Amino acid sequence: MLLYKSTQKAITGILRTVFRARVTGLENFPANGPVIVASNHLSFLDSIIISAMMPRRVAFLAKAEYVNTPGPRGKMMKAFFEAVDIIPVNRSDRSESLKALDIALEKLQEGKVFGIYPEGTRSRDGYLYRGKIGVAWLAHMTGAPVVPVGLIGTDRLQKPGSNMIYPRRFTIRVGKPLYFEKIGKTMTGKQRRVTTDTIMDEIAQLSGQARKNEYNVSPSAARDAG
């Protein structure tokens, strides 16, 4: 916890001074109990930014390849991810990918905060894509409130495939919590779809993004499919 707090404080200071980060709506964030943070996704840095700028510790999942890189870089990324509670998951392995929701469920059952990107992967064209229903599954399994978040301008901080980070200004808008009935495993596919669409509508209002009524596909997944 001490390492997390010190890391968070350092990152927050950099984001506010160098990047002139602007955050609105933090008063909407529940002070205690389980919370699901549902955000749009524009940059590799989004999880780090949200973890640093929220009033409570937020756990995220990330691709295991970030920490599996050989040499000092991989070790550095692993140590950093552990410090800010970003959990590596092998998404190319379907069984491991399915375990991701179990990890999220465990965090929420412990009364913690879990962050998720309903789009599944970063938007590379600026559109807000259709949300996947995992976020609704978590909400109906736990009854945890969903706090919608809109990120604006984080796509300008780092170009895809580049290690260079640019000190561009960005904004985080935190919406009011959304509450959904705790149904458990009896929830229907229709309920998950409606709930997910409701959450995505709120994210769109906060981010101001144009919508695409289709699922986003990462470049690697598109290559594999081709």
Give the integer Cα–Cα distance in Å for 219 and 216: 10
Please tell me the predicted confidence (pLDDT) of residue 123.
Answer: 95
Give the integer Cα–Cα distance in Å for 108 and 126: 30
Q: Is 84 helix (H, G, I), strand (E, B) or coil?
A: coil
Residues listed for the chain = 226
Q: Where are the domains of the chain?
A: 1-23+32-214
pLDDT at residue 161 greater than cutoff 80: no
Residue 176's CB is within 10 A of a number of other CB atoms, namely 13
Please tell me the predicted confidence (pLDDT) of residue 65.
Answer: 63
Give the integer Cα–Cα distance in Å for 91 and 186: 27
Please tell me the predicted confidence (pLDDT) of residue 85.
Answer: 73
Please tell me the predicted confidence (pLDDT) of residue 74.
Answer: 65
**Regarding the domain delimited by 1-23+32-214, which CATH topology (the fold level of the hierarchy) does it fall under?**
Glycerol-3-phosphate (1)-acyltransferase (3.40.1130)
Our CA angle for 123, 178, 38, nearest 5°, is 25
Please tell me the predicted confidence (pLDDT) of residue 92.
Answer: 59
Q: Locate 57 and state its tokens.
A: 């510790």
Q: Is 74 helix (H, G, I), strand (E, B) or coil?
A: helix
pLDDT in tens, 50-105: 999 999 999 988 776 665 667 776 677 667 667 767 776 766 555 555 677 888 99
Give the integer Cα–Cα distance in Å for 153 and 117: 16
Q: Where are the alpha helices (DSSP H) in the chain?
A: 2-17, 46-53, 72-83, 94-109, 134-142, 189-207, 219-225
pTM assigned to the model: 0.89
